[in-house]
Copies of this chain bind each other. A is one copy, B any other.
C-alpha cells in the first residue's frame, strides 16, 4: 500500500501524511463495472484513486442517466468531501470504468488533516477546483453542443481514460451515458464511420481519426 501511495501521491503529500493515510486507510481493488457508490448511499469514507478510472453518473427521477466525468489517478471525490458537512447521502453513482485500485480514508480524518497538513488543504481545495471545472465542462457540453459533437467528445475522453483506441461499448451503452437513445447514437456513429473517423464492429468500435 505504501508504495502505491508514494507513486500516486508522493509529490502531493508529505511523508508524515502518507504514513497517517497508511495507518487509517483501507486498500481496495475493484474490477471494471464494480459499483462503488449508489445514489442515496451513506458516505463513510473518502476515496483516493491509485490506478484506474471511475465514472461518475447522475440520474433523474425517471432513471435516466448522464455521465458527469471520470475520476483518475490522484483524484478524489469532491462530492464525498462536501457530504462530510451536511447530510451525507450521495448525489451520484460511481462505477469503475476500468480495474481500479484505491484507498478509502475515514471521513473523520478530513478536518484533522485540514488543520494539520498544508498539503492536505491544497489537495482538498484543488480537488474541489477540478471537480467544479469538470462540472462546468459537462454543463458546457450539454448546453452548447449538439449530439454529434458530444458523441465525438465522449469517444475521445473514453479512449483517453481507458488508454485504448478501441471502445468496448454497445451503442446502447453510449446512449445511456449521453442520455440519448440507441437509434440516435447508431445514426451518428454511422455518419462518423462514413466520414472515416471510426470503424464500427459488434460490441466495440475502433477510433481511426477523431
Contacts and interface: CB of A to CB of B under 8 A. Distances in A.
Interface of A: 58, 60, 62, 64, 66, 68, 78-79, 81-86, 91-92, 111, 114-115, 121-122, 125-126, 128-129, 131-133, 135-136, 138-140, 142-144, 179
Given A85-B122, A135-B135, A139-B138, A128 B58 contact: no
Nearest to A91: B136
B144 A60 contact: yes
B85 A126 contact: yes
A91 B140 CA distance: 12
Nearest to A64: B144
A35 to B, nearest CB: 19
Contacts of A91: 133, 136
Nearest to A125: B85
Nearest to A136: B91
Q: Is the interface of A mostly helix, strand, loop or mixed?
A: helix
A128 B128 contact: yes
Given A121-B114, A136-B91, A142-B139, A129 B82 contact: yes
14 contacts: A60-B140, A64-B144, A66-B143, A78-B128, A82-B129, A82-B133, A83-B129, A85-B125, A85-B129, A92-B136, A115-B115, A128-B132, A135-B135, A139-B139
A115 to B, nearest CB: 6
Nearest to A179: B143
A127 to B, nearest CB: 10
Contacts of A83: 129
Nearest to A132: B82
